[in-house]
Structure formats: C-alpha cells, structure tokens
Amino acid sequence: DLIPNSNNTEIEPRVYINALLSVHKMYVNMFTTSKDDVGSIISIDKVCAKIVNYNHVTRASSSKSAELLARFCDFLLRKSSKSPEGSDFEDAVEGVKTRMFFLKFYSLMLAKRLVNRKSQSDEAEQNLITKLKEECGFIYTSKLQQMFNDIGLSKDLDDQFKNYCSTRINEQGICCILLKPSKTSFTIPEELEEIFKDFNAFYKSKHSSCKLDWLFHLSKGELKANYCKNSNTGYTFQVSTYQMRILLQYNKNTSYTFEELMQKTELDYYVLTGNLKLLVEAKVLKLSNGSEVGDPLSCYELYMDFESKKVCIQLNLPVKSVQQIEAEKTNKIVEEDRKLLIKAAIHRIMKIRKTLKHVALVREVIALLSDRFRLKISDIKKCIDDLLEKEYIERVEGQKD
C-alpha cells in the first residue's frame, strides 16, 4: 500500500524511494527488536529486493525503479538539498537488480549537474561515487570518476583564463567545461565574438595540438534587460546560448516574424520553435497575429510590460517531454548493452561446454547473469538465434535442440 500506483504517469522519486525504504526498515526493526536472527534479516532483504523490482510501478517498465532511484539521488545531490544518508542509499541500490539501468540514468544526471554547476558540493558527489564503486564495482563507475576528474580540469582552465583576462577591461566573462564534441552548428552573436576569440587564443597557447569544439547546446549566459517599463533597475535573464541569440536580435528591432528569426539566428526549426515557446510562456516575447508558435507567418514582439517579483529570471528551462525522451534513449542504450552481455555469456559457455542442449544453455545464461539484471527467456532465445545466424555457434545435425 505504501508504493504509489502506476496509474499516475508522474511518480515522485522521493515518495517512491521513501516508501520502499519504509517497508524495509519496518520489517528489519520488527526482527531486530524480537530476536537477533541473521537468517531472517537476509530473507527480508531478498523479499524487499523483489518488491523493489516487481511492483505496481515496474509493471510499465522494468527499469522504472532504477530510473526513480537515480532521480532521487539527483534530488539529494542538487543545490538546496540535504545530504544523502549513506545507509539509505546502500539499501536502495542493493535492492535494485537493474543496476545497468541505474548507472546509465545516474551518469546522465551527474553530467547535467556538473555541466550546469548544480551540484551541492564536490565532496558529496565524490562520496556517492565511492559508495557506488563499493556496491557496483570499479568497472561500472570508472566513467563517473572520469567525468568528475574532467570537471576539476575544467575549473583549473577556467581560473587560468580569468587570470589571462585580468589585465583586459571586459565586462563579459566565460566559463569552460571539458566535454566531448557535438555536431551542433551555431553562429555566435556578434556581441560575444571578442570574448570567444580571446578564449580561442588562450586555449591554443595552452594546448597547441588540440582542437577546440564549442558545445553551444549546453552553453548558457546572462542578459541584462533594461527595456521594461515596470522596473527601474531592470531584470537579469538567465538564458541558453540559443535564447541569447534570439533575444539579442531585439536590440535592433522590437518585432520579428518566425521566418526572419530563423534567417537571422540560423537556428534549426525545432530548436527555434522550442526556445520561442519558452520565451512566449515566460511573457518575455508576445505572440501576435493569433497564430501558433512555429508558424512561418507568426510574429514575435518584445513585451515591454514584462514584470516579475524576481530580479533574476531563469529562462533556460528544459523543453517539455525532454525527460521522457532521455529515458527512452537510455532504455535503448541499456537494452543493446544487455544483448551484448547475453551474447558474450552464450559464447563463453559454449566455448567451455562445446555442446549443450537449448534448455540447458538458457539455464546457464540465467545462472551467470541473474545477479546483474533481470533476464527474459525470450531475449536469450533471440540472442541465440542471432549467434546461429552469424555462425558463431551451430546446431547439431539431426537434432532440433
């Protein structure tokens, strides 16, 4: 009864994880207060592990517990959150059988925290990576540790660039983070060209043999808005680089059509549409002509009567449904990883056994991989068929199994 019903499309990670932990603690306390029976506590752990992996929520998706646990950790590690309790975390992770899913979701959210500088503290992040290493092993957490180390290098490079610019009079600033390159094409606003040239020159002086790629889809900045009629001090807009490119056009004119903005910003249709929706919803821009955002003839006017109780307004928000899309992508990646592991296990078993009946092979694969994730017999059969088709294994002549 403590576990939320799966009919609710949006499940609060805190409610779900706290419900699971409450069930575990309730039964553990029941046995520890009555008698010190280690066997009973082990049995409780096994039962609770089944509850984690098989409940109302996991009916829709076997990876749901892993995803919600990763989001719960993300909530705890973000700024303005309390530090995670070590024992609670260990109990929850130990129960999650789909650890591959959890680590994929967790690495995605860790990357977002580090890139957006939303971590509560480096110490809290490092402590949780250490706990993950103890629970899941070094192989599965090495990438997380590398991400954390890269952020340390980025901070050092950022400080060096600030020292490099300390003798120059420039109100603009830039912070850098080391990440893998992307295919995103984007032309920077002319207002930022000078600072970008400075950083390119600085980076080349430090790393002459390296190529510098800019990830503008992850970049952000601040704009000072002094045009609002209802404010004497103005507002500060925290925006993505794409939003910055759009809003800076309004220094030249107060109204543009969708086609004009697309031509001037050189942004992709979907990127421009998504960011315009956010700006219209925030009432920074006003959609005229009674049309919808993204229509070729729709017109976007700077809203001069904009007002807010806050001086600093966050406009750099995720586009709706992006969380669901990321979850689907993560599921696909993990499913592919699982297939590779199943095929590797089949190949390893057959190298040792040489000849094995179909049913026995399926059982051995389950015994080998059941501790790592939940296996479906249908998936194992598909992997066997794939290996047969690619001639890594073959059927014994005259026998169907």
For residue range 10-57, list pLDDT tens digits in order. Answer: 678 888 888 887 877 777 777 665 555 666 767 777 777 777 777 777
Q: How far apart are CA 110 and CA 128, in angstroms?
A: 11
- State both tokens at 151: 């952020």
Whether residue 17 is found in the same domain as residue 121: yes
The answer to whether 102 and 337 are in contact (CB under 8 A) is no
Among residues 216, 233, 268, the one where a domain terminates is: 216
Residue 401 lies in a domain: no
Which pLDDT tens digit goes with each residue over 52-101? 777 777 776 767 778 888 888 888 888 655 555 555 555 555 555 566 77
Whether residue 291 is found in the same domain as residue 212: no
pTM: 0.58
| Residues 6 or more apart whose Cβ sits within 8 Å of residue 355 | 396
Whole-number pLDDT of residue 15: 84
Whether residue 170 is found in the same domain as residue 127: no
Whether residue 186 is found in the same domain as residue 90: no
In order of 113, 152, 219, 290, 315, the CA distances from 117 in angstroms are 6, 12, 12, 39, 16
Residue 265 lies in a domain: yes
Whether residue 296 is found in the same domain as residue 375: no
Q: Which domain holds residue 54?
A: 13-136
Centre a 10 Å sphere on the Cβ of residue 5 and count the other Cβ atoms it contains. Answer: 10
Among residues 107, 136, 165, the one where a domain terminates is: 136
Whether residue 86 is found in the same domain as residue 67: yes
Q: What is the DSSP letter of 257?
A: E
Residue 177: pLDDT band with limits 50, 70, 90? low
With pLDDT > 90 as the criterion, what percentage of the chain qualifies? 9
What's the number of domains the chain is made of?
Answer: 4
User: Any idea of the CA torsion for 57, 61, 66, 71, to the nearest 10 degrees?
Assistant: -70
